[in-house]
Structure 1
């Protein structure tokens, strides 16, 4: 039986289109990837000589100011292979970049001295600060900039950091900044909500596509091991926190002593979960206050005088005095809720949010950092 002319024509077109489609697939699957233009790696982007020439350049690069009479070049188009950004137990060997973020209301010279003493390669470290406005904030900014000027001097190659970002907040702190007033129970919800917003602003502004780790380090943490970053990263955990203590003069002993400081790193308890079930949607649970007994297991009291510094425990809440986070956890959406999130707020709410996203938190009860004592 003869085939109609129109049917033969349609069959020919079909074969032609199928062959064209097959060739297209073969081209994309078999093309040599080495022929593609090379993309910048994280270690390349962190070199100080690669300072950005335009304010719209990637946030992982320090911005170099231009002469006002000079016409700036157009913003660059930069490609990133995110699979090249690793987070491993050997961050120095893999040249993994670290972003140290600090909400700063008062400048302590011991904090900066401790920062300079960190043994992690400084060319892999970027710093970010957020400072409130007002008289104290202005003074803290002045003192910080004085130290930055000396540290980032061209002659100071040993201590110079890859980049430094300073943000100024639009408002002043909601409460006074003395230690006793900061920790009063009545101030906690407002204070910690404001702190959450500051942390989020700092994070979202400074987190770059080449960042591997984010170290949250409070401005009043003045003593850590020089190997703090690599020691924490060696556990290869998404979220990990050391035990924050405070040195003080013990009148009973007549000698220097150490006491727990940060009570926000804990394992949950049936009592705390029961309290949360009875709370209204805008109420929060707070740790470390006699008026709100939760009977959680606090990492602050898990430390052993001669214990193994590498001992690790699971946590449900974390403090933010010194907190190492894989950057992918933040990229996944975990931030610091300034609102009650499962009746938790700020760093404790962050741990809960990260857990809901599939990331667990861990603590090192025998690995210590020390808080300033006013």
Structure 2
């Protein structure tokens, strides 16, 4: 397989990852708006898709972090990048199937680190940069978003304690439309850049771009369209978990969670931190749950999510390492990895159709509902 053809394969795989990132992370922006009834499911994902598209054009700082900061581009080949992408896609699909909002970003980092390590050695991975730009933001961002959301929720309920609850919730549901839009914009700004960075890294390793080059315009456009399309198809399984599973969400809580998340993500994107929007939005929702008196936070669900977060980077790294070991052998190895990835993706899709979750089966949480978990009717 000559280099130009391999580069095309890697670019197509990167855009496939970008698509899975879109539908995997739709819930980050829209779960609380759907849960409170501020937006209908299909309207929510359409709005999110458009704003993801726009957000992708706002910055390239995160893309530069990935294309020139995580691994040594002089020591790897496009086949290694391809293997890392396969590791990320497989983990994205597995967690989507079980409805766990894990991090697409960390799946990508894990896959790339594992593939690079096995192909070029530990020296080819810039671990100091990984700690600075990935691990520290991963720990700090959900805590910051959660604290802001908790404080905002607490103050909101204290200041409106004598007001009519139905009127308050109705007003904040309108505000949620704006805050959900901000999260979608922020998601496009941060997450689409990761695919831009991967494609740019591929072009650099193939000698088609100089080292430290930024993403070309066509790369930005393709990444923006891919994540927007993925967002439009909607990740309803994860939307259920974030919108219903963690805590019961009312209008003021949804507004607080979304606004705090958008602020953290946009700030981090400006600084070039490739954080996880999943971690941030989940932290915001948990904080909003803790900020409302008598609201039940389902810590068992939160515990499962945190476990998925912890497992994401190493699990994707293992898959990326195995794929890299095979893909680095040459054309036959790349073909084998590609076919194996397609087979796994097909198997996961078939498994998902046994118990599908669609926009129609996503039940909006109505104002005044109890804190008890709702029963979801899943479409046959």
Q: Normalising TM by the smaller chain, what interval?
A: under 0.3
Higher relative contact order (CA 8 A, sep 6+): 2
Q: In proportion to residue count, which structure has more strand?
A: 1
Q: In proportion to residue count, which structure has more helix?
A: 2
- Name the TM-score, length of structure 1 as normaliser: 0.24
- Name the TM-score, length of structure 2 as normaliser: 0.24
Larger radius of gyration: 1
